[in-house]
Amino acid sequence: MISAKRPWLAHYDPGVPSEVDYPKAPLYALLQESARRFPEKVAVFFYGKELRYRELLDLSLRFARGLLERGLQKGDRVALMLPNTPQYVIAYFGTLLAGGVVVNLNPLYTSRELRLLLGDSGARFLVALDLLFPRFLEIEREVSVAKVLTTGIQDWLPPPLNLLYLERARREMGWQPLPEHPLREAFERLLESPPLEEPVPSLPSDVAVLQYTGGTTGTPKGAMLSHENLMANVHQVWAWMEAGRHRQDKLRLTEGEEVGLCAIPFFHVFGMTVGLNLGIKGGGKLILVPRPEPRELLDLIEDHKVTLFPGVPTLYVGLMQAPNFGHRDLTSLKFCISGAAPLPVEVARRFEAETGALLVEGYGLTEASPVVHSNPLFGQRKVGSVGLPLPGVEAKVVDERGQEVPVGEVGELIVRGPNVMKGYWNRPTETSEALKGGWLFTGDMARMDEEGYFYIVDRKKDLIIAGGYNIYPREVEEVLYAHPAVMEAAVVGVPDPYRGETVKAFVVLKPEYRGTVTERELEEHCRRNLAAYKVPRLWEFREELPKSLVGKVLRRVLREEGGGA
């Protein structure tokens, strides 16, 4: 029976359950189960280096024992500062098998950011690229790290790629062999340990990962994601894809047969869940990409017949701008799942038209492990909507008093489910503000239609108030993306002495339109499609927009740079 409180259930694809059944087991059980079912299947591919599922589990168990032999205690934090490499996957599952807690760190962090997050998490171990060890040395006396395990990209490349990489690293990045240091040890030494016979027991409620929020405002907060949170979210997304397992056409999904392109960093929560954990759950072959470039990604899709490709909007835009994109054989692609940032409608239309794959937008946030909504794979996908709540997720839109608003009205989106975090690490005040009665207050402004489809209007903090009017940047950006000359667009509010704020648009034009399309033309386009008060009054053309490593446009940077305009 479809509840009036959950109208979205009527629009699920056939075969998708209303609730999700997931094992109350530690997250590492995903790897154990796939190693049991698909021992000889390739789990990881890295520039010619392959690891089969039985090998990946064996190496992870060796790493786990190595950590325990070096003093890891149950619940100790192990920070991973690695791109998408075999070492990341081994360290991730090895830490969990040893009873540790993974702390994901961006390899681009400065020494200041590294000090902040290592200090806040209290990490006892750090696993990092050899190139990053000097950055740690700048702050070693200010943190409690007892052991740094270093490894190199070259260590897991087959010859002659390993030698070619080393030569390039010396020439372009100043790589040189690391000196002896009492805290440093080679990552590979731990793999010489015998495999751990039995994993350290973990309860479903134990913290598995400390995932720090972006920290674009104020100090980053560590979301405590439990084994149950992450296990539940993997199975929620898996259940959503169940519809594809019963098809008899190209879009049929088969366990142990799919090939996933892992271009989104695993240290990002979207890459960790939808790239790594989901891929391992399905017994798939994961193509690891530490530094995605459009041409390389297109080569990998063609060469390995990639079927699943999680990404972010800027990644799909980049692919479509690559030379010869229209002449590539991308017919193996089945599903591309877009997350981490809003997907412009026009980008989705163009990508699907040119590839034949389904590009489905979802929505999530770090505190929910992260996925909470997705458009149906085969059912109705509404323009501009992030879709329906996943199985087991409750969602509603509320006003400032926490009261549910009528259908179609804008308010704050709140969600509840087994994937919602335990809280923020050592931050009880922030936890009580975000979690109320089991509901996670997302900080996103949204509306729900009569059929249960949700629309993210904008981030609460990105709302522009100009002359008393509320203006949502995403609405303006969608209009800009509909103009044929626009490749990328971002809209922010900048101070205005009369209106309080005014709308400023930053635009990247497609190469063939640069120098020919003017502000006036874009302004007229906006006036035809927006109320006058929403039309940008300030314009700036750029070669590119500032982005995070996963492709999110950094509005904060644009606000700072455009504030005096």
Give tens-digit pLDDT for 454-490.
998 877 778 787 876 778 788 899 899 999 999 999 9
d(C-alpha 292, C-alpha 553), whole Å: 17
Q: Are 7-22+223-459 and 29-37+47-203 equal in CATH topology?
A: yes
CA 542 to chain centre: 26
* H or E stretch covering 32: helix 29-37
What's the rounded Cα separation, in Å, for the pair 89 and 497?
Answer: 52
* DSSP-H helix ranges across 251-389: 269-270, 278-281, 294-304, 313-321, 345-355
- Does 171 or 111 have the greater pLDDT score? 111
Identify the band that residue 564 occupies on the pLDDT scale cut at 50, 70 and 90: very low
* CA contacts within 13 A on the Cβ side of 483: 27
Ranges of H-type helices in 357-413:
none
Give the number of other Cβ atoms within 10 Å of residue 290's Cβ. Answer: 18
Q: Percent of the chain beyond pLDDT 90? A: 71
pLDDT of residue 435: 97
Query: How do residues 142-185 score in pLDDT, each as one tens digit?
Result: 999 999 999 999 899 888 888 888 788 777 777 777 888 999 99
Strand partners, 430: none
Structure tokens at 552: 């999110």
Sequence-distant (6+) residues with CB within 8 A of 456 are 342, 363, 386, 413, 444, 445, 446, 474
> Which DSSP state fits 184?
E
Q: What is the 3-state secondary structure (H, E, C) of 208-248?
A: EEEEECCCCCCCCCEEEEEHHHHHHHHHHHHHHHHHHHHCC
Query: Distance (Å, rounded) from C-alpha 362 to C-alpha 458?
Result: 15
- Residue bearing the bigger pLDDT, 33 or 472: 33
- Taking the C-alpha atoms of residue 475 and residue 536, their distance in angstroms, rounded to an integer, is 12
Strands 147-151 and 207-212: unpaired
Per-residue pLDDT, 8: 98
The DSSP element (H or E) to which 94 belongs, if any, is helix 86-97
The residue type found at 554 is: L
Q: In this predicted model, what pLDDT tens digit does every residue of 298-333 receive, in sequence order?
A: 999 999 999 999 998 888 988 998 988 989 999 999
Output the pLDDT for position 224: 99
Here the tokens at position 187 are 């990552």
29-37+47-203: CATH architecture: 3-Layer(aba) Sandwich (3.40)
Mean pLDDT of 28-47: 98
Across the range 42-51, mean pLDDT stands at 97
Is 481 in contact with 489 (CB distance < 8 Å)?
Answer: yes
On whether the CB atoms of residues 451 and 408 are closer than 8 A, the answer is: no
Q: Look-up: residue for tokens 């900048």?
A: 494
Which CATH number applies to 463-562: 2.30.30.100, 3.10.20.90, 1.20.1260.60, 3.30.300.30?
3.30.300.30
Paired residues of 440 in beta bridges: 415, 435
CB contact set of 123 (below 8 Å; sequence gap of 6+): 77, 78, 79, 103, 143, 144, 145
Is 50 exceeded by the pLDDT of residue 530?
yes
Q: What is the mean pLDDT of the chain?
A: 92
pLDDT of residue 3: 59
Half-sphere exposure of 398 (CA within 13 A, CB side): 16
Which residues, 6+ apart, have CB-to-CB distance to 283 below 8 Å? Answer: 34, 37, 38, 41, 53, 255, 256
pLDDT at 307: 96
7-22+223-459 is classed CATH 3.40.50.300: no
Instruction: Spell out the domain ranges in the chain.
Output: 7-22+223-459, 29-37+47-203, 463-562
Q: How far, CA to CA in Å, does 149 sit from each of 82, 133, 182, 372, 449?
A: 11, 9, 11, 35, 51
Whether 60 has a pLDDT exceeding 70, the answer reads yes
Q: Packing angle between helix 473-481 and helix 345-355, nearest 10 degrees?
A: 40
Overall average pLDDT of the 259-266 stretch:
96
What tens digit of pLDDT does each residue of 390-433 get?
A: 999 999 999 999 999 999 999 999 999 999 999 999 999 999 99
**Cα(352)–Cα(443) distance, integer angstroms:** 31
CA distance 192 to 65: 10
Amino acid type, 463:
L
Sequence-ordered list of residues with C-beta below 8 angstroms from that of 324, at least 6 positions apart, any chain? none
The residue type of 95 is T
User: Is residue 214 very low, low, confident or very high in pLDDT (cuts 50, 70, 90)?
Assistant: low
Distances (CA, A) of 63 to 58, 152, 314, 394: 9, 16, 35, 38
Reduced to 3 states (helix: H, G, I; strand: E, B; else coil), residue 468 is coil
Inform me whether the pLDDT recorded for 348 exceeds 90.
no
The set of residues, in sequence order, having a beta carbon less than 8 Å from that of 446 and lying 6+ positions away, is 397, 410, 411, 412, 413, 454, 455, 456, 457
Three-class secondary structure of residue 60 per DSSP = helix
Helices and strands per DSSP (H, E), number in the chain: 17, 26
DSSP β-ladder status, 101-104 and 77-81: parallel
Return the higher-pLDDT residue of 109 and 414.
Answer: 414
